[in-house]
Chain A
Amino acid sequence: MPRAPAAATEPSDIELVDNVLRAAPGAVEAFYRRHSQLIYHVIRSRADRQDVDDIFQAFFERMMKRDYRVLQLWQRGTSLPMYLAKVVRNFTIDFHRARRFREEAVGGTSELEPLSGPAAETISAASHLKELRHIGIRAWAVLEPRDRRLICDRLHRDLDNDAIARRLQLSAGTLRTAMSRAQARHLGQVRRLAPEFFPDQGNGRATASVLSRDGRIKP
Chain B
Amino acid sequence: MSAHPPDGSDEPEAVDPVMLAVLSNRGRDATLLTSDQERLLDDWVAGRLAPAEAERAAALTKQNSLAAERVLERRLLEAARQSPPVPQDLTARILKASLPPKAAPSGGWWRSLDRWRWQGLAGAVVLAAVVAVVGVPLWQQTMQGGDPMQVAMVTINDRNALFEPSDVRMRGPGPQPGPVVEQRFHDVEVPTSILKGLVAAAASPRSTASREIEPYLSMSGDGRPAHVIVDSALKAKIDTSGDSERMLVRIYDLEDPRAADIRPLVGPLPKGRRIYLLTLKP
Contacts and interface: CB of A to CB of B under 8 A. Distances in A.
Nearest to B251: A77
A200 interface: yes
B225 interface: no
B65 A36 contact: no
Contacts, number: 162
Contacts of B95: 28-29, 32
Contacts of A29: 95, 98
Contacts of A154: 24
B25 interface: yes
Interface string B212-226: 000110100000000
Nearest to B18: A197
B51 interface: no
A130 to B, nearest CB: 7
Nearest to B62: A158
Interface stretch (A52-60, A107-115, A141-149): A52-60
Interface in B86-104: 86-87, 90-91, 93-95, 97-98, 100
Interface in B135-165: none
B14 interface: yes
Interface residues of A, number: 61
Contacts of A127: 27, 65, 69
Interface stretch (B73-81, B108-116, B195-203, B263-271): B73-81
Contacts of A18: 215
B189 interface: yes
Contacts of B186: 77
Contacts of A128: 69, 72
B24 A64 contact: no
B76 A38 contact: yes
A199 interface: yes
A184 interface: yes
Interface string B38-70: 000000000000000000000000100110111
Interface of B: 10-16, 19-20, 22-27, 62, 65-66, 68-70, 72-87, 90-91, 93-95, 97-98, 100, 186-189, 191, 215-216, 218, 246, 248
22 contacts: A1-B70, A2-B70, A2-B74, A4-B77, A14-B216, A18-B215, A23-B100, A28-B98, A29-B98, A32-B98, A40-B80, A53-B87, A76-B218, A79-B73, A127-B27, A128-B69, A133-B23, A158-B24, A175-B12, A183-B16, A199-B83, A200-B82
